[in-house]
Amino acid sequence: MEKSGHPGGVPSPGLVFETLTAYQRSAALRAAIELDLFRAIGEGPGDVPSLALRCGASERGIRILCDFLTVIGLITKEGLAYRHTTTSALFLDPNSPTCLAATAQFLGNPRLKEPYERLTEIVRSGRTVMEGQGSVEPEDPVWIEFAHSMAPMMGPMAGPLGAIVLAERGGPMRVLDIAAGHGLFGIEVAKQNPEAIIVALDWAPVLEVARENARRAGIAARYETLPGSAFEVEFGGPYDIVLLTNFLHHFDRPTCIELLQKVRAALKPSGLAATLEFVPNEDRVSPSIPAAFSLTMLATTPGGDAYTYRELEEMLVAAGFHRIRAYPVPRAPHTVVVGEVDHRGQSSIAGKQSG
């Protein structure tokens, strides 16, 4: 679709119209996933009557939906037949092992979308209109859905994260996985290091999802669970590694520092803390996905944010960490930021060095 974001560029009332109606894009993709349309497109022949039959839907509905998905670049149209793009073949067809369709469940969760209906009020007050702590209210059931439906998006990052945290560490170790969710990050560490014992911390019902994933991965014997809030439960330890994935962004800086101090106290002197975050550049408006994510934190939390590398570094330093550095995850919008307890550690690890 046309776009004019550059000063001096072509003025575009179309961009205004398309932004005001952008909510239709989310609805169209969600409907297509619910109708199992992308599987039907992948299996061909892709014309309206056969897609309608396959999806148990009307021809008018399928034709208009497929045309719309073509306009927004998710599929293509050749004559009267709809075909996969590389993107839809890899990430939307359930026959693809990298299919992300399940993420529509969490990303379309009505409770997390509702605050956007009151965004004006949220910008005025500077915090979510959700009750209590918003999406980080204790025992919030959205995190069960997160654990189930976001695994396909988070899974591909587990391998790189595991390699980063195990780069200088091996042998018997205890690893605390805070806000484990689906558990995939801790499970990957256990897979990469057969001598690692994982302690997964999350709300009890979420831990059931993680435990099931650990069982499937064949590492259940080395998988322990610690139900409760990261702010309240005793971590135990000491640990060699603490993982803080998709977690700090929900909280304001004092809360993050407080938590990082508690993490540091639970680590061995040789220990490492690793966060996985959406980390925008210092300009806070690039790259697009990490930068745009701060709006989600405005809408759904009292004080969270998509923190820049400098901010994460400051928080880690304030909590007593040393040798802080960032590793962008290949082919993903996330960044791993690590810090160590001992300031005398070697600095042989590749990556953006700082502090």
| Region 151-210 residues binding a second copy, contact defined as CB under 8 A | 153
C-alpha–C-alpha distance, residues 273 and 50, integer Å: 53
Piece of 83-91, 129-137, 229-237, 346-354 that binds a second copy (CB under 8 A): 83-91
Lookup: tokens for 163: 């390699």
Asked if residue 17 binds a second copy (CB under 8 A), the reply is yes
Stretch that binds a second copy, among 64-72, 129-137, 180-188, 220-228 (CB under 8 A): 64-72
Q: In angstroms, rounded to a whole number, what is the distance separating the alpha carbons of residues 296 and 253?
A: 17
DSSP letter at 218?
A: T
Comparing CA positions, the residue from 176, 154, 192 lying closest to residue 277 is 154
Indicate whether 56 belongs to the interface with a second copy (CB under 8 A): yes
Residues 215-234 binding a second copy (CB under 8 A) are none
Which is nearer to a second copy, 129 or 349 (by Cβ)?
A: 129
Nearer to a second copy, 104 or 161 (CB): 104
Helix (H) or strand (E) holding 313: helix 309-318
Restricting to residues 281-310, name those near a second copy by CB under 8 A: 283-286, 288-289, 291-292, 294-299, 303, 305
183, 213 contact by CB (below 8 A): yes
Q: Which range in 13-21, 162-170, 218-226, 322-330 contacts a second copy by CB under 8 A?
A: 13-21
* Coil, strand or helix at 67: helix
The continuous run of DSSP H or E covering 82 comes out as: strand 81-84
Tokens (6 digits) for 83: 């075909």
CB of 113 to a second copy, least distance (A): 7
Sign of the four-CA dihedral 320, 198, 228, 244: positive
Instruction: Supply the minimum distance, in Å, between the C-beta of residue 9 and a second copy.
Output: 6
Q: Of the ranges 119-127, 135-143, 181-189, 213-221, which one interacts with a second copy (CB under 8 A)?
A: 119-127
Q: Which lies closer to a second copy via its Cβ, residue 229 or residue 281?
A: 281
The tokens of 229 are what? 């809030």
d(CA 8, CA 10): 7
Task: Find the part of the chain contacting a second copy (CB under 8 A) among 57-65, 189-197, 238-246, 346-354.
Answer: 57-65
**Which of 43, 44, 45, 125 touches a second copy (CB under 8 A)?**
125
Of 20, 282, 330, 348, the one binding a second copy by CB under 8 A: 20
CA-wise closest residue to 335 among 300, 291, 283, 269? 291
User: Interface with a second copy includes 242 (CB under 8 A)?
Assistant: no
Return the number of the residue (84 or 323) whose C-beta is nearest a second copy. Answer: 84
- Among 74, 151, 199, 210, the residue binding a second copy under the rule CB under 8 A is 74
Can you tell me the distance from the alpha carbon of 213 to that of 182, in angstroms, rounded to the nearest whole number? 7
Q: Is 97 in the site for a second copy (CB under 8 A)?
A: no
Among 53, 64, 204, 221, the residue binding a second copy under the rule CB under 8 A is: 64
Angle 58-60-66 (CA atoms, 0-180°, nearest 5)? 100
Q: Does 255 help bind a second copy (rule: CB under 8 A)? A: no
Look at the block and give the residue holding tokens 């702590």. 133
Q: What are residue 224's DSSP bridge partners?
A: 199
